[in-house]
Chains A and B, each alone.
Chain A
Amino acid sequence: MILDLERFIAAEGAYWSELESMLDQLESGTTSRWSLTELQRFHYLYERASAGLAKLATASAEPTTRRFLESLVARAYSEIHETRQRQHRLKPLTWLLHTLPQTFRRHVGAFRLSVYITIAGALFGGFAVTFDPEAKEALVPGQFRHLMDNPADRVAQEEAAGAGLTPDGMTSFSAQLMTNNIGVSLKAIALGMTYGLGTILLLFYNGIILGLVMGDYLLAGQGVFLAGWLLPHGSVEIPAILIGGQAGLMIASALLGRGERRPLGHRLRRLIPDLVTLIGGIVLLLIWAGIVEAFFSQLHAPILPYEVKIAFGSMQLVLLFLYLTRCGRRTESAPAQP
């Protein structure tokens, strides 16, 4: 049967226009709150348009009208059938003291794996530099060329230079460090979409560089300088990158869906709020790490004694550990699956 399209449009057109104008109001955010009558009217118009679409789909293949109705029904559908929790007003303190550490703990298995992979890389880097000094040249990327020097020479240079950078230079250096590290962490997350392979490689490679530098300085007897230089910022920067790896591995786990019967889309969708929370945490940690690295880590003895730097870095690490493992425990609900 072919519909009497002209009569159909004449009868329904006014309802469609009314629905369209209500949708425009909703989408532009010009309406604050609808009364019950308005809501009932909106629902009625949506059902009427849906019924019209169903009639059109079975009785006529006229595409212009159908597409117009489909677009109306699609817009109204998203307004009416949205069942996910509405965004609450962001409460920064609650987010910081509860949501972030709780989210971290919910996926602590992925974090542990991220740590193990980095440690494996660090061991590899450490062994490489111990048994094959040429490995340093092969493995250290261009941006870390300054690490190619003999550690003892570098320590002597840094200590002779005193504060090193000017305050202006520190500010600029801090910004570069923040953006670079945030970029690396975001890459670790994004590479989770390669079923975690890219994330694992990135973490392993970061571990190699770390192990290589540590091995090099320890072999040269510069362990105190290394701890004083690395701990103040590394105690925050390295965990932040590891959390990036954790988020990447969470994505990989959702993609693999081992032991999960729910479809892929559902698994990924469920992960989104936790991913966003971890991304927010990473950005905060790395902003702090960037400031510390530029304004604190680059100051060496005799201006700033190494004991002070090591104490500061160690304290920071302990506080971060306590924050991630203890904060928000009281409001924590029953343990969710990793």
Chain B
Amino acid sequence: MSERVATLSIRTPEGVLFSQLLAGPVTRFLAWSIDFVVVFSVVYLVQILVTLLTLLSPGVFEALGVLLFFAISIGYAMVLEWYWRGQTLGKRILRLRVVDAEGLHLKPGQIIVRNVLRFVDMLPAFYMVGGLAVFLSRKAQRLGDLAANTVVIRMPKLSEPNLARILSDKYNSLRDYPHLEGRLRQRVNPVEAAVALQALNRRDTLDDEARLELFHDIAEHFKRKVPFPDEVVRDIADEQYVQNVVEIIYRPRRPQT
């Protein structure tokens, strides 16, 4: 079994490395379930329509029904992935997208091949072969993806970063000690800083007890790293302390003008 990675990393000719989050088997199965319901509903509606029309000309509309059923079940994903640049309805709802495995444009040929090869991924039932392949392959690819050189990525909703939401312009008592402020910026590494920033970013999603506990742990960590005088630390809540630290790290003192 090849080693699985959660991201698709691509190094550009300029030497810049960027990565995209790969979709796992469960999310993909959910997207497929939505698509299955959509295809089933459309086919069902078409069948009703065709049944009504067969009263006019039985053979012709029966043939039309057979052809439409085939075209919808085979063509649904092909047409939508082409039209929506790698997304079907299910993938769109779950924010998934089919992309070229080398980060390039998704070509119509790739869409056709990955969808034709669904036949083998669906074997013996409920995409067992495909699901197993996604689980075992390094880039979470089903067999159709492997042949078409595509991957399915997750696209969490991203907006331009807004630090103002986290960092306030209020008085920061830690800044009264410039030498300790400098030491803090020197000793805290990027990972620790990112943890603190993420905690502030997500604090509203935590319940009260977890929030208190989390900020207590982070504040204690920073206090051990660079001890500030007691009279400063004593009156600040842990969450406020972490916010002050993050402010110092990400928003260094501006030269006075």
A residues at B contact (CB < 8 Å): 2-7, 9, 13, 16-17, 27, 47, 50-51, 53-54, 57, 59-65, 67-71, 73-74, 77-79, 81-84, 87, 166-172, 174-176, 178-179, 182-183, 186-187, 189-191, 193-194, 198, 251, 265, 268-269, 271-273, 275-276, 279
Are A67 and B59 in touch, CB under 8 angstroms?
no
Q: How far is the CA of A168 from the CA of B53 in the complex (A)?
A: 13
Question: 0/1 per residue, B128-146, Cβ < 8 Å to A?
Answer: 0000000000000001101
Are B19 and A70 in touch, CB under 8 angstroms?
yes
Are A50 and B70 in touch, CB under 8 angstroms?
no
Residue of B whose beta carbon sits closest to that of A273: B109
**Are A170 and B159 CB-contacts (below 8 A) given A268-B147, A272-B110?**
no
Are A2 and B190 in touch, CB under 8 angstroms?
yes
Q: Quick one: which of B10, B105, B201, B250 contacts A2, CB cutoff 8 A? A: B250
| Majority DSSP secondary structure for residues of A touching B | helix
Q: How far is the CA of A11 from the CA of B67 in the complex (A)?
A: 57
Q: Quick one: which of B85, B104, B148, B191 contacts A84, CB cutoff 8 A? A: B104
Chain A residues near B100 (CB-CB < 8 A): 78
Residues 233 to 253 of chain B near chain A (Cβ within 8 Å): 249-252
**Are A17 and B19 CB-contacts (below 8 A) given A87-B107, A172-B63, A174-B63?**
no
Asked if B149 lies at the interface with its beta carbon under 8 angstroms from chain A, I say: yes
Question: 0/1 per residue, B155-197, Cβ < 8 Å to A?
Answer: 1101111010001000000000000000001001111011001
Are A71 and B155 in touch, CB under 8 angstroms?
yes
Distance between B229 CB and nearest chain A CB, rounded to angstroms: 24
* 22 A-B pairs in the complex with CB atoms less than 8 angstroms apart: A3-B250, A5-B251, A47-B14, A61-B194, A62-B194, A64-B158, A64-B161, A67-B156, A73-B16, A74-B20, A77-B10, A78-B99, A81-B13, A87-B108, A170-B59, A175-B67, A178-B70, A190-B117, A193-B146, A273-B109, A275-B113, A279-B116
Asked if B1 lies at the interface with its beta carbon under 8 angstroms from chain A, I say: no
Contacts A166-B59, A265-B101 given; 12 further ones with Cβ under 8 A? Answer: A50-B12, A60-B193, A64-B201, A78-B105, A87-B107, A169-B59, A172-B66, A179-B67, A190-B121, A190-B143, A193-B117, A268-B149
Residue of B whose beta carbon sits closest to that of A68: B158
Asked if B120 lies at the interface with its beta carbon under 8 angstroms from chain A, I say: yes
Distance between B86 CB and nearest chain A CB, rounded to angstroms: 11
Are A179 and B156 in touch, CB under 8 angstroms?
no
Q: Quick one: which of B148, B158, B249 contacts A272, CB cutoff 8 A? A: B148
Residues 197 to 244 of chain B near chain A (Cβ within 8 Å): 197-198, 201
B residues at A contact (CB < 8 Å): 10, 12-20, 57-60, 62-64, 66-67, 69-70, 74, 85, 99-105, 107-110, 112-113, 116-121, 143-144, 146-149, 155-156, 158-161, 163, 167, 185, 188-191, 193-194, 197-198, 201, 249-252
Chain B residues near A167 (CB-CB < 8 A): 59
Q: How far is the CA of A51 from the CA of B191 in the complex (A)?
A: 21
Are A74 and B161 in touch, CB under 8 angstroms?
no
Are A71 and B103 in touch, CB under 8 angstroms?
no
Distance between B35 CB and nearest chain A CB, rounded to angstroms: 18
Are B63 and A54 in touch, CB under 8 angstroms?
no
Residue of A whose beta carbon sits closest to that of B201: A64
Q: Quick one: which of B57, B102, B113 contacts A168, CB cutoff 8 A? A: B57
Are A5 and B14 in touch, CB under 8 angstroms?
no
Distance between A314 CB and nearest chain B CB, rounded to angstroms: 28
Are B105 and A5 in touch, CB under 8 angstroms?
no
A-B residue pairs, 5 tightest by C-beta = A168-B59, A175-B63, A190-B119, A61-B190, A61-B194
Chain A residues near B58 (CB-CB < 8 A): 168, 172
Chain A residues near B16 (CB-CB < 8 A): 50-51, 53-54, 73
Of listed B69, B159, B250, residue having the most chain A CB within 10 A: B250
Distance between B46 CB and nearest chain A CB, rounded to angstroms: 13
Are B120 and A268 in touch, CB under 8 angstroms?
no
Are A84 and B20 in touch, CB under 8 angstroms?
no
Chain A residues near B144 (CB-CB < 8 A): 190, 193
Are A6 and B251 in touch, CB under 8 angstroms?
yes
Distance between A70 CB and nearest chain B CB, rounded to angstroms: 4
Residue of A whose beta carbon sits closest to that of B64: A175
Distance between B116 CB and nearest chain A CB, rounded to angstroms: 5
Are B116 and A176 in touch, CB under 8 angstroms?
no
Chain A residues near B116 (CB-CB < 8 A): 186, 189-190, 275, 279
